[in-house]
Amino acid sequence: MAESNCTLVTEFSLTGFTECLVTQVILFLIFLLIYLVTILGNLGMMMLIRASPQLHSPMYYFLGHLAFVDLCSSTVITPKMLVDFLSERKSIAYAGCMAQVFLFDLFGMTEYFLLALMAYDRYVAVCHPLVYALVMSPKCCFQLVTGSYLMGLINGIGQTISMASLSFCGSSVIDLFFCDVSPLISLSTSDTTLSSIILRTSACLLGGSSSLVVLVSYVAIISAILSISSAKGKHKAFSTCTSHLATVSISYGTSFLMYLKPSSKSSREDKWAVVFYTVVPPMLNPLIYSLRNKEVKDALRRLTKIR
């Protein structure tokens, strides 16, 4: 009865990081720089892959989509955060909050599946090189990427429907810099059992399955590399995986740290943990591939010479 008489929330307030004006300006400049590097890095990677024939292979096809997803996921969060740094009133409409939940969960889960595809691609290249062209055909790669976006879409729709079914009649203050599922569940005044089940089920089924593909692929890759007799052969085989392994370590490592770490007594510490989970990986991924991958550096060198 109490819930039926309450006023439903039409917008949420975001607490941000700090109330100090000087600190907000400094953080604005830092995150603006991060966002610009993210945009330039991921757009540059997409254009380089498209313009360089030597990068027209399954691994770089997946990498191009990873760059697109990183660009989109960062754009879902960072521009709003930058505006709030310079705004006295940090708020987001209910519809905007639900849209942020949908898009962030869509692109977030899609990224995990793309990373799993890239791990599988490296597994086939190292462990079954003779059938690589047949297994990783253009048609197969297109279907795998489409499936990744479909898994992300299913996750986004599921999380958004579960959030839309909740009532928010009490506090409308989200102690974070964007709309995420967990803070919204804690704010709801209705029964959150179903939403919590959907959140855990999605994390276990979708996130767990993509993580399992990465784990099994690299166990097989490492086993195959160790069986190579020559040190040169081991180095050559492992060098094809180092960039992806670094990207996987950052993406999965930050997400596992975020969701498995004990709750901090300081909400500021939790917010910085979320930053390293949401904002930093999309910036680092193209830098890792451009700095550590010889084929990408060679393609960039050839392209700049032609121009």
Nearest to 115 by CA among 220, 222, 225, 207: 207
| Residue 306, domain member (yes or no) | no
* Residues 299, 48 contacting (CB under 8 angstroms): yes
Residue 35: its pLDDT value, please? 95
* Residues 237, 123 contacting (CB under 8 angstroms): no
Per-residue 3-state assignment (H helix, E strand, C coil) for the chain = CHHHHCCCCCEEEECCCCCCHHHHHHHHHHHHHHHHHHHHHHHHHHHHHHHCHHHCCHHHHHHHHHHHHHHHHHHHHHHHHHHHHCCCCCEEEHHHHHHHHHHHHHHHHHHHHHHHHHHHHHHHHHHCHHHHHHHCCHHHHHHHHHHHHHHHHHHHHHHHHHHHCCCCCCCCEECCCCCCHHHHHHHCCCCCHHHHHHHHHHHHHHHHHHHHHHHHHHHHHHHHHHCCCCHHHHHHHHHCCHHHHHHHHHHHHHHHHHHHCCCCCCHHHHHHHHHHHHCHHHHHHHHHHHHHCHHHHHHHHHHHHHC
Residue 62: its pLDDT value, please? 94
| Residue 303, domain member (yes or no) | no
Opening angle at CA 241, ends 239 and 247, nearest 5: 125
Tens of pLDDT along the chain (307 residues)? Answer: 445 556 677 788 888 787 788 888 999 999 999 999 999 999 999 999 998 888 889 999 999 999 999 999 999 999 999 998 888 788 889 889 999 999 999 999 999 999 999 999 999 988 898 999 999 999 999 999 999 999 999 999 999 998 888 888 777 888 888 888 888 888 888 878 888 888 888 878 888 888 899 999 989 988 888 887 777 777 777 777 777 787 887 777 767 666 655 554 445 566 777 887 788 889 988 888 776 677 787 777 777 775 5
- Cut 0.75: pTM above it: yes
Cross-strand pairs, 174: 14
Q: Read off the CATH number of the domain in which 186 is found.
A: 1.20.1070.10
* Residues 151, 109 contacting (CB under 8 angstroms): yes
Opening angle at CA 39, ends 62 and 94, nearest 5: 95
| Residue 3, domain member (yes or no) | no
| Residue 2, domain member (yes or no) | no
> How many beta carbons lie within 10 A of that of residue 164, not counting itself?
12
| Residue 305, domain member (yes or no) | no
Structure tokens at 279: 């904002």
Cross-strand pairs, 91: 13
* Residues 46, 68 contacting (CB under 8 angstroms): yes
Range of the domain at 127: 11-293
Domain count, the chain: 1
| Residue 72, domain member (yes or no) | yes
30/280 Cα distance (integer angstroms): 12
298/55 Cα distance (integer angstroms): 10
248/81 Cα distance (integer angstroms): 26
* Residues 95, 210 contacting (CB under 8 angstroms): no
| Residue 36, domain member (yes or no) | yes
Q: Which residues contact 223 (CB under 8 A, 6 or more apart)?
A: none
| Residue 264, domain member (yes or no) | yes
* Residues 221, 99 contacting (CB under 8 angstroms): no
